[in-house]
Chains A and B, each alone.
Chain A
């Protein structure tokens, strides 16, 4: 676990430092900027999908799906961050108790 923690930590710091040190013209390319804006959207959605609907390498449907549904409702109602997370946990826990 430590190598991954250190690689991610030092790597993410270096990305920040390189960004601050480069002249704008070098990576100010608009195409590259556009890809950079889409990257978080694709990564976060993939994380949501895999962590809700899979266990290991199997596709599954369990209490986590109910949690996600509750989170979607909370986000729609513009709930603050912690409320969204808490509601998802509570609903998933509740579904587990009931089923």
Chain B
């Protein structure tokens, strides 16, 4: 990361700032649309409107939230759903490691920033070329997504409550479609495709033998084994940061 620090005195700074904030609002609106479907799927899966809203406010990570609702909706034990949600949330921990150098957080800002560490805010921050721009991108994207995601969740949750049988509208096909849209950008190379195929087979084969929701946890083991067996290309510390950054996709919450 070059330390060409832009400041308020920099002539380019106001243009940079406008661009960053415009992008932040755009990502927030796109994610909000997706929050609508989370609110609807979650209440259709049997969670209450309040539980659905707590997930969006406190958990605040789309993939994990969909996973919990999905497992519960399929008849799995709620705690199995929570385990899947936590495993999916692990990536946010790694985003945090990447972000801490950029954000240089102190005091009360750190616990506040932690809540906003998601795919979108990380993706928008790591592509900036200066630290002030990266910080602005992180905070503005995080706040924009947080506000619109939670608003959309409430609307989606109440809208779905109006339906008597969500299946007649095909709502049980919504969660797999949502997962597919989330995952598609991660399938650009051969290794994740092989992992995806093996994970699907392992999950389906184990379905008749273990409790609902547990096959998904077996699939996590596939990722761990594949990751441990993979040959890692040699790279310097800087390459690693850049390579990691490019794998974060904006579609995923």
Contact = CB atoms under 8 A, between A and B. Distances in A.
B110 A21 contact: yes
A81 B181 contact: yes
B170 A91 contact: yes
Interface of B: 30, 33-34, 36-37, 46-48, 51, 54-55, 58-61, 63-64, 66-68, 70-75, 78-79, 81-82, 84-101, 103, 105, 110-111, 113-115, 117, 167-184, 186-187, 191-192, 195-200, 202-204, 207-209, 211-212, 215-216, 218-220, 222-224, 226-228, 230, 232, 235, 240, 244, 247, 251-252
Interface of A: 1-13, 15-22, 24, 27-28, 30-31, 33-54, 56-59, 63-64, 66-68, 70-72, 74-75, 80-82, 84-85, 87-94, 96
Contacts, number: 331
Contact of B200 (A45, A91, A96): A45
B208 A17 contact: no
A42 B58 contact: no
Contact of A4 (B74, B78, B110, B173): B78
A85 B178 contact: yes
B204 A49 contact: yes
Given A64-B172, A93-B170, 20 more contacts: A4-B68, A19-B117, A20-B110, A20-B113, A33-B94, A36-B90, A38-B195, A40-B183, A42-B196, A44-B196, A45-B183, A52-B173, A52-B176, A68-B176, A74-B177, A75-B181, A80-B33, A81-B37, A85-B174, A91-B173
Given A8-B86, A15-B89, A33-B94, A57 B212 contact: yes
A29 B159 CA distance: 45
Given A64-B176, A68-B177, A35 B224 contact: yes
B92 A19 contact: yes
B58 A13 contact: yes
A34 B209 CA distance: 30
A52 B207 CA distance: 12
A23 B198 CA distance: 34
B187 A41 contact: yes
Top 7 A-B pairs ranked by shortest CB distance?
A19-B96, A67-B173, A4-B78, A46-B219, A35-B227, A88-B177, A92-B170
Contacts of A41: 183, 186-187, 192, 195-196, 199, 223
A91 to B, nearest CB: 7
A7 B85 CA distance: 10
A54 B93 contact: no
20 contacts: A1-B78, A4-B81, A8-B55, A15-B90, A19-B117, A22-B96, A34-B230, A37-B186, A39-B91, A42-B199, A42-B220, A50-B207, A63-B170, A64-B172, A75-B184, A81-B33, A84-B178, A84-B181, A88-B170, A89-B177
